[in-house]
Homo-oligomer: A and B are copies of this chain.
Amino acid sequence: MSAERIEADYLIETAYDPRKAAEAMAGEQSSGTFVPVPGETPELKARSAARVEKLEVVGEVEHPSLPGSGAPPGGDRRVRARATLSWPLENIGPSLPNLMATVAGNLFELKQFSGLRILDMRLPDAFASAYPGPKFGVEGTRRLTGVGERPLIGTIIKPSIGFNPQETADVVDVLCAAGIDFIKDDELQSDGARCPFDERVRAVMRVIDRRADESGRKVMFAFNLTGGIEEMRRRHDLVQSLGGTCVMASLNSVGVAGMIALGRHAQLPIHAHRNGWGYLSRHPALGWSYVAWQKIWRLAGADHLHVNGLANKFSESDESVMESARACLAPMFDGKPCLVMPVFSSGQSARQAAGTLTGLGCGDLIFAAGGAIMAHPGGPAEGVLALKEAFEAAIACVPAERYASTHPSLAAALRMDSA
C-alpha cells in the first residue's frame, strides 16, 4: 500500500457488474457526481478520486440479503465480491472522525448493493503520529496489576444495576479476598441516582486500598465513567486521585470524538466496552466487521477491548470471537503496534479457558467470568482459583479434566459447568 493512501476492504453483494458497482461506490465516496458539474475536471479526479484497487468475486446468492437494491433489466443474479478501495490521504488528512465518513459513510444505502460490509482497513503512518494509541495496553495492564504471563482473571459487578456504593464495595471486598485480578462496572452502571459515580469510586477504592495493604497487590477496577466529555475527564481525574488504576467507557455511547478526547486526557488504562455492537454487525452482509472497527478505537486510545467469549450466551460464533480477539493483538503500524488486551466475557467458565488460550496463541487477555466465580460451590476464592488452574492446565497443554484430578477447585468448577 502507498504510504499516502487509505485502504478499505468490503464485502459487496450486487446484481450489477461488480466492478461497475464498486466504481460507483468509489465515486460516491470521493469526487463522483451523478450529473457532471463544472470543475469536475480529469485533473481533479486523478488527484482526489477513490480507486478500486482490487475486486474478487467470491460467490453467488439466490436472494438479495438486504431490501431496497436495484437490478439491471432481466438480471437478478447477485454476486458477492471482495472489493478494496483506496483514497488519497490528503482528502481528509489523518482524522479518525473524517475517516468514518469516508470509509463508512453513505455507502451502505447505495441502491447498487443488496449487501455491503466493511471488512478491514489500512491507514497511512500519519494516523499513527496523529493519535496516542493505547498508553498502557498489554504491558501497562500487567504492570499495574502485577500479573506476569498468565491471563488476567476478571469479573463484572452483578447485578448490573441496583446496588448502592456501599453494596458495590461489599461485593468488591469479597472479590478482592477471593484473589481476583480485575473487576469492572457493568455498562448499565455509570452515575445513576442510587449509585453516583463519585461515591462509588470512593467506597470501592477504600476497599481496594485496604485489601492491597494486606496482600501487596492492588486489584484493577474499571470504573464506568461513560458520559459527556467534561464529566469523563473529571471522573477520570477523581479515579486517578484516589489511586484507581482503570476507567471504562462504552464506545457506542461516547463516539469517536468522545473517545479521542478521553484517550488524549487519560493517565489510566481505558477499558473499552462495545455494547451496541450487535446493531453494527449482526447481519453478515451489512455494517462493520470487528477487524475494521477495533482499529479506530485502538488508535483513539483504548487499552482493553471487549470481544465476547467462546460458547457465549449471545448469537456470535466462536470463529468470529477468536478473529476479533486476534485482531486486538495484531500490530497496526510498524513502530506503533497499538496492541490492546482482548476481554472475553459472556457466560465464561473454566471450560472455555483452553480453547481461548489456544485460539489466541498467547495469554495476553482478560477473562471475565461471573457465575463461575460467585456461584462456585467452594465460594468465590475457589472460583477464581479454578479459573487460574484452568489456564495453568491450558498453558501446560494438559487437558482440564486431567489437571482437575489433582486440583479440587478446578474439579468442582468442571462439575458445576456440566451440571
Contact = CB atoms under 8 A, between A and B. Distances in A.
Contact of A31 (B33, B104, B161, B193): B161
B284 A67 contact: yes
A342 interface: no
Contacts of A124: none
A106 B275 contact: yes
B260 A97 contact: no
A105 B280 CA distance: 11
Interface string A190-226: 1111100000000000000000000000000000001
Contacts of A146: none
A100 B30 CA distance: 31
A39 B167 contact: yes
A61 interface: no
Interface of A: 29-40, 44-45, 47-49, 66-69, 89-93, 95, 97-98, 100-102, 104-111, 113, 116, 158-163, 167, 171, 187-188, 190-194, 226-230, 232, 250, 252-261, 273, 275-280, 282-284, 286-288, 308, 313-317, 347, 370-371, 374-375
A109 B188 contact: no
A91 B196 CA distance: 10
9 contacts: A40-B162, A48-B162, A95-B228, A97-B227, A98-B253, A101-B275, A105-B275, A254-B256, A255-B256
Q: Tell me how many chains of this kind the complex includes.
A: 2
Kindly name the residue among A105, A163, A191, A261 whose own CB sees the greatest number of chain B CB atoms within 10 A: A105
Contacts of A230: 261
A230 B264 CA distance: 11
Contacts of A261: 228-230, 257-258, 261
A111 B311 CA distance: 12
Contact of A228 (B67, B89, B257, B275): B257
A286 B279 contact: yes
A93 B191 contact: yes
Given A93-B192, A101-B188, A286-B279, A159 B31 contact: yes
A92 B282 contact: no
Given A48-B161, A97-B226, A108-B277, 10 more contacts: A33-B160, A68-B316, A98-B188, A98-B250, A105-B276, A106-B276, A254-B257, A256-B258, A279-B280, A279-B287
Contacts of A31: 159-162
Given A95-B227, A315-B68, A159 B40 contact: yes
A278 B116 CA distance: 10
B282 A37 contact: no
A45 B313 contact: no
Contacts of A101: 187-188, 190, 226, 250, 252-253, 273, 275-276
B102 A188 contact: yes
A90 B188 contact: no
Given A171-B39, A188-B30, A279-B280, A97 B159 contact: no
A159 B39 contact: yes
Contacts of A286: 278-279, 282-283, 286
